[in-house]
Structure 1
Amino acid sequence: MTTVQTAKDVIEQTRAFHNRLVSFYKDLSYQVDEERVKLLLEYMSRHHKNLVKIMDDYGSGVSEHILETWFMYVRNECDLSPFFSADLGPDMTAQQVMQVAIELDKCLLETYEAMLQNDIPDDVSDVFQGLLDLEKREKIKMAKSALKIETL
């Protein structure tokens, strides 16, 4: 599907995506019985809440010229079937939580990578490269924290 939108639209959509995940993980944490899984879900909620704040700060630090840049890109729909078909409930495991998290993060990475495939001005490209790098760093940080929680 070809999409035409501004850089600001993409940043706001990413922020909204992280915000939805805050609630998603928090709600799941109330459903689970296993203490480590509960800790992991609470961590995931806080992690995405932090990313919402980072996106707020990031968006406010970008010039209006860049935010209002229009571009077209072909966006492949993310495969969110693991998100919807996972056995998410009181008996879920830490591995199931991490698998869902990995699939959701993959969608964001694919979006930023698709943006960078376009012929866009360098200053706009720098913004999306920065967001891609941020998401990659956060994915590594999340995986390390999840491993620590799982080994408690």
Structure 2
Amino acid sequence: MNVETFRDVVEWTRALHEHLARCLKHCSTQQEEERAKWLLEYLADHEAALEKVVAGFEKKADPKALNTWLYDYIAYAPIKPHLSCSAPYAEMSFDEISQEIFDLHEQVIGFYRYLEGRAEIPETRELIGELLKLEQHEAMRLVHQTNRSKDL
């Protein structure tokens, strides 16, 4: 997918979360370690819910912001959604899965920070700012939930 407008950023993010949810769900059926299997199922559900929230941005965002072209993005190489499933989650440990997912979310957050610093109109700054807050909040929630499950 070519990311040329802020609408494309929203769609790219939605597609990333959707693909990740499907991949995690699929890998959970092949995971033998019980805690890791639970984690994959939890993360799959979380990513599916996040995909729906991100999809809502396209409906509620200012059309002016969505249709704004990105001029600088080529200097930044965003994560490609098809690469998010290149890791064999079914063969990874609980900690490895956690780290992989945390790293992926940090890359998305980094991409949003990059875009936020280059947004030229208030509408695009607001849109990217909202997406950034969402991703940061969800990343913190994932860290908190997975750390709690380690204590069990």
> Following superposition, which runs of at least 4 residues in structure 1 exceed 2 angstroms of deviation?
76-84, 86-90, 148-152
Q: Displacement, 1:117? A: 2.0
CA RMSD of aligned residues (A): 2.3
Is the CA contact 2:64–2:123 (under 8 Å) kept in the aligned structure 1? no
Q: Could you tell me which residue of structure 1 aligns to residue 29 of structure 2?
A: 30
Q: Larger % of strand: which?
A: 1
Q: Residue 52 in 1 paired to residue 51 in 2?
A: yes
Instruction: Assess, with a 3 A threshold, how the Cα gap between structure 1 residues 131 and 82 changes in structure 2: closer, same or farther.
Output: closer
Q: Could you tell me which residue of structure 1 aligns to residue 117 of structure 2?
A: 117
Q: Which runs of 5+ in 2 are unaligned?
A: none
| CA deviation map 1:61-90 (0-9, x unaligned) | 112111111121221355999974x56434
Q: Could you tell me which residue of structure 1 aligns to residue 135 of structure 2?
A: 135
Is the CA contact 2:3–2:12 (under 8 Å) kept in the aligned structure 1? no
Q: Could you tell me which residue of structure 2 aligns to residue 43 of structure 1?
A: 42
Identity %: 26
Q: CA separation in 2, counterparts of 1:131 and 1:111?
A: 11
Is the CA contact 2:18–2:51 (under 8 Å) kept in the aligned structure 1? yes
Q: Could you tell me which residue of structure 1 aligns to residue 90 of structure 2?
A: 89
Q: CA separation in 1, counterparts of 2:104 and 2:71?
A: 23
Q: Could you tell me which residue of structure 1 aligns to residue 103 of structure 2?
A: 103
Instruction: Assess, with a 3 A threshold, how the Cα gap between structure 1 residues 24 and 79 changes in structure 2: closer, same or farther.
Output: closer
Is the CA contact 2:39–2:94 (under 8 Å) kept in the aligned structure 1? yes
Is the CA contact 2:20–2:85 (under 8 Å) kept in the aligned structure 1? no
Aligned residues: 148
Q: CA separation in 2, counterparts of 1:93 and 1:28?
A: 12
Instruction: Assess, with a 3 A threshold, how the Cα gap between structure 1 residues 52 and 89 changes in structure 2: closer, same or farther.
Output: closer
Residue aligned with 2:70, SS = strand
Q: Displacement, 1:113? A: 1.1
TM-score by length of 2: 0.86
Q: CA separation in 2, counterparts of 1:25 and 1:146?
A: 15
Q: Which runs of 5+ in 1 are unaligned?
A: none
Q: Displacement, 1:99? A: 1.1
Is the CA contact 2:62–2:123 (under 8 Å) kept in the aligned structure 1? no
Q: Could you tell me which residue of structure 1 aligns to residue 7 of structure 2?
A: 8
Q: Which amino acid aligns with 1:75?
A: Y
Is the CA contact 1:71–1:120 (under 8 Å) kept in the aligned structure 2? no
